[in-house]
Amino acid sequence: MAAHDLELVGLVVATGDRHAFGQLVERYQTLVRAMLTRMTGNHALADDLAQEAFIKAYRKIGTFTGKGSFKSWLCKIAYTEFLQSLRKRKAAAAAMERYKAHQDMEERSAKWDSGDAMDLDRALAELSEVERTVIVLCFSSGMSHSEAAEVTGLPLGTVKSHINRGKAKMRALLETKEAVQV
Amino acid sequence: MMTPEDGFEARLRTAFEKADANITPDAHFTRHVESRLGKPLNSRTMVLGGAGASGSAIAASQLERLADGLQFHNPLLTQFFDLVGTQSVVAIVFTLVAGTFIYVLPGRRI
pLDDT grade for B109, boundaries at 50, 70 and 90: very low
- The span from the CA of A34 to the CA of A120, in Å, is 13
Q: Least CA distance to B13: which residue of chain A?
A: A139
Average pLDDT, chain B: 75
The per-residue pLDDT for range B55-106, each reduced to its tens digit, is 767 776 666 666 666 666 778 877 777 787 777 777 787 788 777 776 666 5
Helices (H), chain B: 4-20, 27-36, 42-68, 75-84, 86-104
Query: Beta strands of chain A (E only): which ranges?
Result: none
> Cβ of A54 and B33 within 8 Å?
yes
Partners of residue B34 in chain A, C-beta under 8 Å = 18-19, 21-22, 25
CATH topology of domain A5-181: Rna Polymerase Sigma Factor; Chain: A (1.10.1740)
Q: Is A82 exposed, middle or buried (0-12, 13-18, 19+ CB in 10 A)?
A: buried
- Residue A17: pLDDT over 60: yes
Of A120, A163, A110, which Cα lies nearest the Cα of A34? A120
What are the backbone dihedrals phi and psi of residue B46, each rounded to the nearest 5 degrees, phi first? -65, -40
- The span from the CA of B97 to the CA of B101, in Å, is 6
Weakest mean pLDDT among A26-40, A88-102, B21-35: A88-102
Residues A34 and B23: beta-carbon distance below 8 Å: yes
pLDDT grade for A111, boundaries at 50, 70 and 90: very low
Q: Domain range spanning residue B104?
A: 43-110
Highest mean pLDDT among A72-76, B32-36, B75-79: A72-76
- Residue B43: pLDDT over 90: no
> Cβ of A29 and B30 within 8 Å?
yes
Number of domain units in chain B? 1
> What is the rounded average pLDDT of the residues A35-58?
93
Q: Is residue B24 one of the residues assigned to a domain? A: no
**Identity (one letter) of the amino acid at A4?**
H
ipTM rounded to 2 decimals: 0.76
- The span from the CA of B107 to the CA of B105, in Å, is 5
At residue A1, the pLDDT reads 47
At residue B2, the pLDDT reads 57
Of A71, A29, A24, A70, which Cα lies nearest the Cα of A50? A29
Closest partner residue to B16 (CB to CB) among A50, A108, A140 is: A140
At residue B8, the pLDDT reads 85
At residue A110, the pLDDT reads 42
pLDDT higher for B22 or A136?
Answer: A136
> What is the rounded average pLDDT of the residues A122-136?
92
pLDDT grade for A49, boundaries at 50, 70 and 90: very high
Weakest mean pLDDT among A1-15, A16-30, A70-84: A1-15
> What is the rounded average pLDDT of the residues A60-74?
91
For chain A, the structural domain boundaries read 5-181
In this prediction the pTM is 0.66
- The span from the CA of A28 to the CA of A74, in Å, is 9
